[in-house]
A = this chain, B = another copy of it.
Amino acid sequence: MVEKLRIGIAGLGTVGSEVVTMLQMRAGQLSGQSGRQIEIVGVCARDRTRMRPFTPGPWTWYDTPEALAVAPDVDIFVELIGGEDGPALNAVTLALQHGRHVVTANKALLARHGLELARLAEAGKVALAFEAAVAGGVPVIKMLREGLAGSQINRISGILNGTCNYILSKMETEGLSFADGLAEAQRLGYAEADPTFDIGGFDTAHKLALLTSLAFGTAVDRDAIHIEGIESITLADIRAAAALGFRVKLLGVAERNEHGIEQRVHPTMITHAAPLSQVMGVTNAVSIDADAHQRLTLIGPGAGGKATAAAVMADITDIARGNVPHPFAVPATSLTPGERVPMQAHRGGYYIRMFVEDRPGAFATIATRMAEHGISLESIMQRSGTEHFLGATCVPVVLITHATTEKLVRDALDAVLADGYVSERPQIFRIERE
């Protein structure tokens, strides 16, 4: 048995408390796996007096995360504070500069500062481990960084936000409206009072930025991601998709194409045969297409204190065993710059739903506009239900296109809008060949 491994934990909320409990309960198992005794020596939390579900150990309380990060007896600094700047950034930076390993669940921090923090970690020959930052209970970071070493990855797609998937699942299985699905998610604590970060696709984008870097060897660049949320999805869309054999999912997708690495977060239609389409509720899932592996899919809990804490524990155990990989699989200096592939160049099939004025010529004009832009239609369907717009009766019409480009679809729809037959901007879902 070599010397003890001493842990400092900043943040004792749900995840932090679970980490403390697991470290207390599984000391023996961990030292068996790693050959080192693991001990909490310091903690830091906003409120020391709050009731927490563990018995405090003989550790030192620190007033600030920064003080804990540089405490002389801390080997691993566990950052569970959150936030992309401020104390989390300061403390993690200090810890790495002082030669402490860092374990964090903070995707926002890494999506913004991942590259510079990885450089600091490598300079200090310490770990910057973040299994808990993406799909908490699904060890996808380790899978990409180590399990698929030697494979060339061509595409990665995932259901990375449990809140969105919960809302979309409820809409489909219980026929709720988006607003009611969101309210239910908020009632159960799956969504924040201000849900923008989740339903707007930003949380998914942060996670996708990390996965992209690991999968493609590019520097983390969240600004290179095209982002759309799920706010505009209606029950009618979900039902039209179902009638066509599809489900609507918010996916994060990164794929290699002739323009570079395309990164995008938006509602997609995927067939029922795709493993991701079967993932319902708050569960997360990631599919990875590698040359050698065809498709590999991981499905598991995306969040929750226990699952996220278990990911932190796996990172701690790795460090205890001396497994200190490059944070993004290859040296930070050899990561290639992220590049924003314009969404206009995206190629694929499209679902387009619009409300069309119910008078002769409307269908023909729309079909003509599509043909003029070289868009080939797989189907054109009138759905049930009518709306009224400027005194006219409108019916919902759904178009499914064969593979085309985003630019042609946008241009064709601009022409359709200019013709004046449709009552509002059409709804668009990209169809993914999952």
Contact = CB atoms under 8 A, between A and B. Distances in A.
Interface of A: 18, 22, 26, 29-30, 32-34, 131, 137-139, 142-143, 146-152, 275, 278, 290-301, 306-307, 309-310, 313-314, 316-318, 321-323, 325-326, 329-331, 334
A146 B323 contact: yes
Contacts of A292: 18, 22, 137, 306-307, 309-310
Nearest to A309: B292
Contacts of A152: 26, 29
Contacts of A131: 147
Binding site secondary structure of chain A:
mixed
Contacts of A30: 149-150
Nearest to A317: B149
Nearest to A305: B292
A84 to B, nearest CB: 26
Contact of A310 (B137, B139, B143, B151): B151
Contacts of A334: 32
27 contacts: A30-B149, A32-B331, A32-B334, A33-B326, A33-B330, A34-B149, A131-B147, A137-B296, A139-B148, A143-B147, A146-B146, A149-B313, A149-B317, A149-B318, A151-B310, A275-B275, A275-B278, A291-B306, A292-B306, A293-B301, A293-B307, A295-B300, A295-B301, A296-B298, A297-B300, A298-B298, A298-B299
A294 B299 contact: no
Nearest to A35: B331
Contacts of A22: 150, 292
